[in-house]
Amino acid sequence: MSLKKRPAKKAPARSENDRQARLQAILDAALDVFLDKGFAEARLDDVAARAGVAKGTIYLYVPSKQALFEALVQSGIGGALGTIEQKVLTLDMTAEEQFRALFAFLRQEVLGTRRLDIVRLFLREGSRFPELAEIYHREVISRGLALLRGIAERGVASGEFRSDEIVRFPQLAIAPGLMALIWTSLFQRLDPLDVAGMLDAHLALMMKALKGPPS
């Protein structure tokens, strides 16, 4: 009696969770390599070795080193920014409460996580590579400024704010975040800064300026 050969079993398709975990490992490795070597000197071979994957695996996710940087920004900061955008825009909150939610996001989800390293990387490399600055501006800066301006505009329209300075210059609202980044990167060992306290103080001063003196 002849035995029919059974068809070989197909390997199970990689699940979406597996794909996302592999992508995250590549992004984490890319951040390490970019920080260690700089964007110009970093190679995809270095990223692959750090992530423990074949170089060809990276090309399953991104076509180039620049695209890898873009994915790092989109995943690392853009996704978190999208979450806070939805929270601010959908919940019934005053403009002040919305600003407080944004400052809490900045303190907890950026300054308190590895996302801070992405910001540091951009500040270090953006002036040398204008295309990276364009990516970061599109994915983070323009969205953040639009969110700040929108909150300020609603506050003015509702009468909660008497001043429109943040509508005209939303950069003023995030200035202390940049100061915290610079200070903690360069001077924290010499002169420790209470970042949370500084952000709370800035928000209090900003609210006083926007609301004006009590009537």
Q: At 132, which CATH number?
A: 1.10.357
23 found inside a domain = yes
- What pLDDT digit, counting tens, does each position of 179-209 carry? 988 898 899 999 999 999 999 999 999 999 9
Instruction: At 47, list the tokens.
Output: 């990223």
C-alpha–C-alpha distance, residues 100 and 116, integer Å: 19
| Domain span including residue 135 | 64-211
99 found inside a domain = yes
- Asked whether the beta carbons of 184 and 163 are under 8 A apart, the reply is no
Residues 44 and 77 in one domain: no
- What pLDDT digit, counting tens, does each position of 84-99 carry? 888 887 778 999 999 9
Give percent of the chain with pLDDT exceeding 70. 93
How far is residue 62 from each of residues 1, 131, 149, 183, measured CA to CA in Å?
53, 16, 33, 34
- Asked whether the beta carbons of 124 and 42 are under 8 A apart, the reply is no
HEC per residue, 60-79? CCCCCHHHHHHHHHHHHHHH
Residues 50 and 127 in one domain: no
User: Residue 84's pLDDT is what?
Assistant: 87
Q: What is the mean pLDDT of residues 70-77?
A: 92
Tally of domains in the chain = 2
Which of 33, 61, 89 is the C-terminal boundary of a domain? 61
Say which amino acid occupies 191: D
2 found inside a domain = no
187 found inside a domain = yes
Residues 31 and 124 in one domain: no
CA dihedral 76, 78, 80, 84 (to 10 degrees): 160
Residues 107 and 141 in one domain: yes
- Nearest Cα to Cα of residue 106 among 185, 181, 165: 181
7 found inside a domain = no
71 found inside a domain = yes
- What pLDDT digit, counting tens, does each position of 81-137 carry? 888 888 887 778 999 999 999 999 888 888 888 898 999 999 889 899 999 999 999
CA dihedral 117, 75, 107, 151 (to 10 degrees): 130
DSSP 141: I
Residues 55 and 75 in one domain: no
Global pTM reads 0.83
- Nearest Cα to Cα of residue 31 among 141, 118, 128: 118
Residues 21 and 122 in one domain: no
Cα angle 85-73-48, degrees, rounded to a multiple of 5: 145
175 found inside a domain = yes
